[in-house]
Structure 1
């Protein structure tokens, strides 16, 4: 059941995400940037020039053979990894909606499988792990992003993979430390100062894997860098806690001597090297934007290879662009409103005429793709985060702290950019951790295995009703997530808040 349950949940998630994946047959929202850039990477190795990247090219949809891409490099605001991921689908299926959405659907499905396994390891419960994965499978925001060629779902995937790697590393390091402790007459490990402060934990390949994943996240969008900082702090605190439990009098000093090197060397440098390697196509090109900026330039930094200095100059320009992005947008929102779904983003909207595209001849219809989280799931998650804060602050529950760290890493940095144009769909990066928070809260409702039968029965009824309501809520909003044609009144009835319109 440790694998069967997660695989069944992932199969359901995949069926939902791949169903009619090419619908709508249009370039929706920012697909006009990333689908084109991915095709350019596939053909040139770098982002070439299109007549207008901001406007959907009707020729792409009408005749994919008519491509208006030229080879002069163009300035882009995000690193290449996410676009390389999208390019894999375009390589297999061509430059059409199914092709450029294929890989995000794959990553969305695999992320559900990963979350099931991560939840199982975190909570030591297959049921709660599968519940967390099922909740994410039924989240509207995750669903829409899994069916759109945007970068944020790719960031989410690598962040979640890094978290899973760090969980495995934590378990294995603690097992090695426990094996070094003396045992009592009953065969149980007992704290020992000398063993706790002097025992090394050996090679830590899962931390190296986490460093690679975090480098890939940052080389998709720069907000992955904040996750690297949060996760580095998390691993250090985990190591300190392990040394303290093992009996160390000075756990921080023990970590500094035995563990910190692995944290710094396996996360930060590995992530940096991974980031640079993702620019290989740009390094190998002659016409990539700014590729030869540093050629024949002297100065104090001339000892650094010219390609690296050119990349640094390019990235500085990207930084200036991102921090200076203040253009007003109809669907921008303040991060304060994200958790309560204050302002979702409309990716696509059409009003089919009566009698067209499944619309009845006597009614007006709507066809939308709305990046909106499943409301009951997100509003439940707000309460669950309060419960996890209690568990972490007053009960010192490391599981609650780990989940809160994941939410904070994907959420809190956006408050630094109050004047920047930001959108609520960026929150998909921490959706897995919201689902873990709800699953942990459901576990508390169920009660411990040894609880009274009446207590467990009542908890099961409440928890089951909550999960069924969330499932119903996802089904109710499903037409808005999947671009189905519904009567206008049906669309209007689903606009629960005026800010959703």
Structure 2
């Protein structure tokens, strides 16, 4: 039994203590970067003008509602930065409607932003706190997941370090937008499935040692880690609908892993076994559980009479059964409106980009731009937050993903396949929308793919370093190459840091950091 278990679930070498402490230290480093001067700039950045306001409205009223003027009204933004909530008081004069607001995204991400506002107040630090916490937590999760996938604490810590030093992840961890929460829940769902894979294979190995072989194998229970994955992926959908692409891809991937494990243990009909024994609980975990998590995120809308399209008066007119039925009908009608909005979203924007431009970082997004009169020791100053990835990481990831394609083609290694499936789920749908709908899109839509790009780099680094039984010279050269790459990433991030974190610097120093003309702005 021991050899079968080792073949199905290789042991984790090295210190258990360092396996936990190392990722925590890397996450701590990421936390220092993200929380330092989190309230800078003391201004509303880019789409914070929507989400910071919507979050406070959820906190105060249970639903999003209209604020003073338009969503991007500069007067409302100035009041917001000052912590003045009169932008909502002016919305409802006596005897007026309660000012419901049509919003295009589910509420969970805004509820998380609201938690920071509740804890630290209606100010830039408050509305960015949850994003920073999500960014730090994702570093820890990636480090632990990479360690489990590679069976190497060093490679796991390398993965966490690279995520901590990615510019796009850094900026979105310091901005009250939704994408960092989407990334976190997608990564957490993937991490849960990786743990579930190990637990499932260990259960099969134990069964193999104590039971006669059968054609299909045993049922392995409810699989709590897969249920946790479904919850996380349902939460991803409750932040942005694009989470559903990962949900579908990961559900299929998990079933493929199940069939592969049954085949590896020697069952004669592994695919029928996966359909018969694993698919029913997978349907529960990856369909019903995500649906419940998604609907639960709308609790504020169901409980309030003031949500967009709520139709509260009609719903409460004919008893509890009709209340549930009519509420669901109104909720579904609202979703149809949101779907129509997204399908027709093609308004040109100065910082929009196409999905095929994202891997090359051709068109970042300027989240903030000012030209202060002083503070940089030069005649002309600049203060910028540029939403862009660290080029060494992104260009290195391109090479690593090509290596993953070759590795999976040659060896059918599950790790390469998982990384490729996740990257495809996060990128290919946007390629379709770009061609079919001419939809307005931005580079930061690629953030959920970044952890998997980094996993590709780390897996490629593992191939370069070699196995533990590889010749020492081979491992020394491979480790030197991986270390050099990490140092280049660190230097690249350090160079970009002033234009990622709103430091006030001379205009010439800002211009030097613009890799291409597309980085500098429209025109």
Q: TM-score normalized by structure 2?
A: 0.90
Q: Does 1:150 align with 2:150?
A: no
Cα offsets for 1:306-347 (capped at 9, x unmatched): 111100000100000011001000100000011111111000
| Structure 1 residue aligned with 2:163 | 136
1:20 alignment partner, SS class: coil
Alignment check: 8 A CA contact 1:294 1:307 kept: no
1:78 alignment partner, SS class: coil
Alignment check: 8 A CA contact 1:64 1:96 kept: no
Q: Does 1:39 align with 2:47?
A: no
| Structure 2 residue aligned with 1:394 | 410
Residues 400-411 of structure 1 correspond to what in structure 2 (within 5 A)?
400-411=416-427
For 2:476 and 2:187, the matched residues in 1 are separated by: 33
Which range is displaced more, 215-224 or 287-296? 287-296
Q: Does 1:79 align with 2:96?
A: no
Alignment check: 8 A CA contact 2:217 2:262 kept: no
| Structure 2 residue aligned with 1:186 | none
| Structure 1 residue aligned with 2:343 | 323
Alignment check: 8 A CA contact 2:54 2:65 kept: yes
| Structure 2 residue aligned with 1:8 | 25
For 1:62 and 1:263, the matched residues in 2 are separated by: 49
Alignment check: 8 A CA contact 2:311 2:330 kept: yes
- Pick one of 381, 387, 397 that aligns with 1:365: 381
CA positional deviation for 1:405: 1.6
Alignment check: 8 A CA contact 2:83 2:121 kept: no
For 1:137 and 1:475, the matched residues in 2 are separated by: 12
Which range is displaced more, 58-67 or 168-177? 58-67
For 1:439 and 1:198, the matched residues in 2 are separated by: 34
Alignment check: 8 A CA contact 1:368 1:482 kept: yes
For 1:312 and 1:398, the matched residues in 2 are separated by: 38
For 1:81 and 1:339, the matched residues in 2 are separated by: 28
- Pick one of 370, 377, 380 that aligns with 1:350: 370
Residues 50-89 of structure 1 correspond to what in structure 2 (within 5 A)?
50-51=67-68, 52-56=70-74, 57=76, 58-69=78-89, 70=91, 71-89=98-116
Residues 452-463 of structure 1 correspond to what in structure 2 (within 5 A)?
452-463=471-482
1:339 alignment partner, SS class: helix
- CA RMSD, aligned part only? 1.8
Alignment check: 8 A CA contact 2:305 2:312 kept: no
| Structure 2 residue aligned with 1:48 | 65
For 1:478 and 1:243, the matched residues in 2 are separated by: 48
- Pick one of 39, 45, 57 that aligns with 1:22: 39
Cα offsets for 1:82-126 (capped at 9, x unmatched): 000000000011111000000100010011011110111111111
| Structure 2 residue aligned with 1:385 | 401
For 2:177 and 2:119, the matched residues in 1 are separated by: 18
2:88 alignment partner, SS class: coil
Which range is displaced more, 67-76 or 85-94? 67-76
CA positional deviation for 1:249: 2.2
2:275 alignment partner, SS class: helix
2:33 alignment partner, SS class: helix
User: How many pairs are equivalent?
Assistant: 487
CA positional deviation for 1:67: 3.8
In the alignment, structure 1 segments of 5+ residues that lack a partner are 184-188
2:81 alignment partner, SS class: helix
For 2:252 and 2:313, the matched residues in 1 are separated by: 36
Alignment check: 8 A CA contact 1:165 1:210 kept: yes
Alignment check: 8 A CA contact 1:177 1:200 kept: no
- Pick one of 171, 190, 193 that aligns with 2:198: 171
1:369 alignment partner, SS class: strand
Alignment check: 8 A CA contact 1:335 1:424 kept: yes
Alignment check: 8 A CA contact 2:249 2:425 kept: yes
| Structure 2 residue aligned with 1:468 | 487
For 1:133 and 1:55, the matched residues in 2 are separated by: 39
Q: Does 1:308 align with 2:335?
A: no
Alignment check: 8 A CA contact 2:105 2:239 kept: yes
Residues 89-104 of structure 1 correspond to what in structure 2 (within 5 A)?
89-104=116-131
Q: Does 1:259 align with 2:286?
A: no
For 1:311 and 1:393, the matched residues in 2 are separated by: 45
For 1:42 and 1:179, the matched residues in 2 are separated by: 49
Which range is displaced more, 410-419 or 67-76? 67-76
CA positional deviation for 1:363: 2.5
For 1:242 and 1:63, the matched residues in 2 are separated by: 55
